[in-house]
Structure 1
Amino acid sequence: MSENMVIGVLKEAITTGLLVAAPILGISILVGLIISIFQATTQIQEQTLTFVPKLIAIALVGLLFGNWMLHNILIFTNKIFDLIATITK
């Protein structure tokens, strides 16, 4: 196993991880920003106010993009198993 192969696998792992996490992180940041603006304008400083909408938004993103996320993770896992099979030969 060469250094280039290891670097390629690590690069693909990081890329896949970021790609899979991006929808959840993005919607969480967006909802948090909207709620923060709402709290700043209304001067309501309740910490639990941010938790429930973020949780609901993340659950909806999980339902909408869960199949796509799982598909990307399975593709990466299959590539890793194929790579392991070719290394041992």
Structure 2
Amino acid sequence: MHHPTSEAGSGRFRHPAPKLSARDALLFVVLFLTASLLEVGDFAPVFWETVDAHALWHLATVPLIPLWYRFLVADLRVMDDEARSALPVRAK
């Protein structure tokens, strides 16, 4: 089965790389700093003393993980492509 992003003749298959965007990194930083306000600005528990600022901090950081991971994967793929293009071409 031929995959559209396979490297010709290498036998390696690569998933399509997510587009690297500084906007994704900036969005992560802004959201992380906003979520950090919950950790810094602690408040008394609410809803029958079951939810406090620390619990909301953990809840707010969950959606940040895939955002940061997607940025890291895209960044590593760009670095990998740059490193491969710097290698000398082998004669066949």
Task: Please give the range of the TM-score, normalised by the shorter of the 2 chains.
Answer: 0.3 to 0.5
**Which structure has more helix as a fraction of its residues?**
1
- For normalisation by structure 2, the TM-score amounts to 0.40
Q: Which has the larger radius of gyration?
A: 2
Structure possessing the higher relative contact order (Cα contacts under 8 Å, 6 or more residues apart) = 1
